[in-house]
Amino acid sequence: MGKRKKSLSVVKKKGNNFIELGKAWFDWGDVYHFLLTISWASFFSLIIFAYLILNGIFAIAYMSVSEGINNVRPNSFLDAFSFSVQTMATIGYGAMYPESLPAHTLVAIEVFIGLLGLAMITSLMFVRFSRPTARVLFSKVAVICPYNGVPTLMFRVANLRNNWIVEAQVRVSLLMPDTITKEGYTMRHLVDLSLVRSQTPFLALTWMIMHPINSNSPLFSINQEEFLREDYQIFITLMGFDGTLSQTIHGRHIYFNQDIIWDHHFVDVVKITPDGNRYIDDAKFHDILPI
Q: What is the CATH number of the domain that holds 76?
A: 1.10.287.70
| Domains: count for the chain | 2
Residues 193, 176 within the same domain: yes
Task: Give residue-wise pLDDT tens across range 156-198.
Answer: 998 888 888 999 999 999 998 877 777 877 787 889 999 999 9
Using alpha carbons, list the distances in angstroms from residue 269 to 107, 153, 203, 278: 65, 18, 16, 10
Same-domain pairing of 148 and 255: yes
Cβ burial, residue 261 (10 Å; 0-12/13-18/19+): middle
Q: Summarize pLDDT for 98-154 with one digit per residue, the tens.
A: 888 988 999 999 999 999 999 999 999 999 888 888 889 999 999 999 999 999 999
C-alpha to C-alpha distance for 96 and 72, rounded to whole angstroms:
7
| Final residue before a domain boundary, out of 84, 107, 130 | 130
Q: Are 229 and 96 in the same domain? A: no
Residues 6+ apart with CB under 8 A from 283: none
Whether 191 and 142 share a structural domain: yes
Residues 284 and 141 in one domain: yes
74 and 217 both lie in a single domain:
no
pLDDT of residue 66 exceeding 80, the answer is no
- 3-class SS shares of the chain: helix, strand, coil, % to 5: 30, 35, 35
Domain boundary among 130, 151, 172: 130
Q: Is residue 253 part of a domain?
A: yes
Domain shared by 124 and 141, yes or no = no
Domain enclosing residue 228, as ranges: 136-290
| pLDDT at residue 25, as a whole number | 65
Which pLDDT tens digit goes with each residue over 18-59?
556 666 666 777 888 888 888 999 999 999 999 999 999 999
